[in-house]
Structure 1
């Protein structure tokens, strides 16, 4: 069995962060989201992995390499434009051959991994198996309709009037039957080859399409709110460690991991939290559910429930929360006179200012 991991896409909902970084490499608890998926695939006993890459291919290649660090063998498959999930299957035909495979969206996060699902698929071998979960906003997802016996009878991509609240999670399992399906469908109104259409084709052909409704935690980390929520969930499992320097004037409370080379001076850190390598926390408060990446400086500032990426700095800033702060960003207080905010913002930025 092989795996096909989708790591293309522009990540428009995470702009401006994704103007300069692949959305799948934005870190959760100081580890890229994509890495959690690759680890889950390896844990399921799958070693041959094809990664679909687009504009950020070079960055993905640099981060993942040949896959040996995860115990897998990686093949990179270029996709010139993001033309849909079914298109990804289409262009991966040579890599996939006639093997069964799991398709995993690289920006999805599933607590507990996929080992149980893969084992069940190997035993039963339906033509396709999908994961579903209940969501409050089904219009934003692919939605499944089940009959009274729980069998999949219909699928629709981002419907205006959903027939259920069961959304497709970004993990799919297929036999080679899907290859005929992706060749038989037409592009949607979005100009994409939709995997929901390919699944519907299989259903219409009376093929065996099964579903599993998961009750555990799943998130599509495509926006800041969900990214912070996943970060919170992962940090709840963090193992405390103090490998950096903490002076006697500092207070460390709860599950806090301080990486090698980090320095904490005259500060209070309340876990769960991670302080990355070579970061400096001075005269500051770092609150729960905060991930501070490597080479960050936080001085005379307060921050919690946030993600701070590599090389950023916060100095003299009071009360930052629920924020995603990009690489090499500088956050400082505005001058007291004149009473005004001075902003330099990239395209698609979002700013909330206290009055």
Structure 2
């Protein structure tokens, strides 16, 4: 089994946090988004992962440190890491085809801007599975249309009349991804574009037209990391799940507590110093931070950051930040100083 992870986008909706760090490497509940996503997919698949192919963007932004992080992730799951580059932002189909040398055999394709919680078995009779989530407002999403055998027969983008309440979340399984590769190559050769981009859906629709059987795999939770507000919300939800699972150490043993209170669930990394502070609930703090004379809840703080004299709620603060002030719902990028 392979996992293909297109992650070349710059994450413009999550700026300023993605000005220096690619969005899939933004930590949520103590781990980068893409790390959590790939590990959760591996758990669902319940079979050995041979290769994880990552499709990155410009090497000037997705540099050697990113490659090393992703290689370590793949190796930790017993898989080979393959690194590809998408030289131009030409859509989901184009991103997948950037990794065409790895497009053979059974594979999961997962876009690295979402987190999931799921427990289901892949249908062995299906040629492909599109992972979905039941939603209350399907008109805001791309959804699947099913026949009487619960097979997907159509993909419908933001339907104004009811088609189904199963929204496509951007994770797909193919019994043989080479079939998708063939169809996407046709799309590229015929220059079929939607919105100025080559889309995975055009390849999938050609597979359906050939009679390939598509089924759904429904996830229990689907958490977006598209912008600051939803990323903070996702951090809160993920901390809750991790506390229930009780399988990860969320508060490092090296945390120094000086007249401070921690209200769980929280993730607090290595060498964090808490002085005259109340932290939590639903707070993630990266390594080597100092929090002093501060109350913080429902927030995400990355590494090597100093916070003083603050009351924070629904805040997202980057790496190497110094902040001293009273605004609460703040979004501060890396290497900022506000004193």
Give 1:317-336 correspondences, 5 Å limit.
Answer: 317-318=310-311, 320-333=312-325
Partners of 1:132 and 1:82 lie apart in 2 by 25
Seen in structure 2, the aligned counterparts of structure 1 residues 236 and 12 have a Cα distance that, compared at 3 Å, is same
Q: Does 1:71 align with 2:78?
A: yes
In 2, Cα distance between equivalents of 1:99 and 1:289: 41
Q: Does the CA contact (< 8 Å) of 1:136 and 1:165 recur in 2? A: yes
Number of the residue aligned with 2:200: 195
Partner of 2:32: 32
What residue in structure 1 maps to residue 184 of structure 2? 182
Shift of 1:24: 0.5
Once the two structures are TM-superposed, the CA of residue 207 in structure 1 deviates from its matched residue by 2.0
What are the within-5 Å matches in structure 2 for residues 336-355 of structure 1?
none
Alignment partners' CA distance in 1, 2:165 and 2:151:
15
Q: Deviation per CA, 1:109-150, whole angstroms, max 9, x where unpaired?
A: 11146xx44xx24x32x3221111122444553322223443
Change (3 A) 1:86 1:159: farther
> Does the 8 Å contact 2:317/2:332 carry over to 1?
no
Q: 1:48 aligns with which of 41, 47, 51?
A: 51
Which TM-score applies when normalising by structure 2? 0.84
Write the distance in 1 (CA, Å) between the matches of 2:206 and 2:315: 42
Larger deviation, residues 135-144 vs 47-56? 135-144
Cα shift readout 1:162-200 (whole Å, capped 9, x = no counterpart)? 743321122101122212221233443322111122212
Counterpart contact for 2:129–2:215, Cα < 8 Å = yes
Name whichever of 320-329 and 160-169 sits farther off.
160-169
CA distance in 1, matches of 2:225, 2:300: 13
TM-score using structure 1 length: 0.80
Using CA pairs below 8 Å that are at least 6 residues apart, which structure has the higher relative contact order? 2
Alignment RMSD (CA, Å)? 2.9
Q: Please state whether the residue corresponding to 2:181 is helix, strand or coil.
A: helix
Pick one of 82, 90, 94 that aligns with 1:83: 90
4+ residue runs of structure 1 moved beyond 6 angstroms? 343-346
Q: 1:16 to 1:161 in 2, by over 3 A?
A: farther
Higher radius of gyration, 1 or 2: 1
* Number of residue pairs the alignment of both structures matches: 318
Q: Report what 1:102 is aligned to.
A: 108
Q: Go from structure 1 to structure 2 and tell me whether the alpha carbon gap of 1:333 and 1:212 turns closer, same or farther (over 3 Å shift).
A: closer
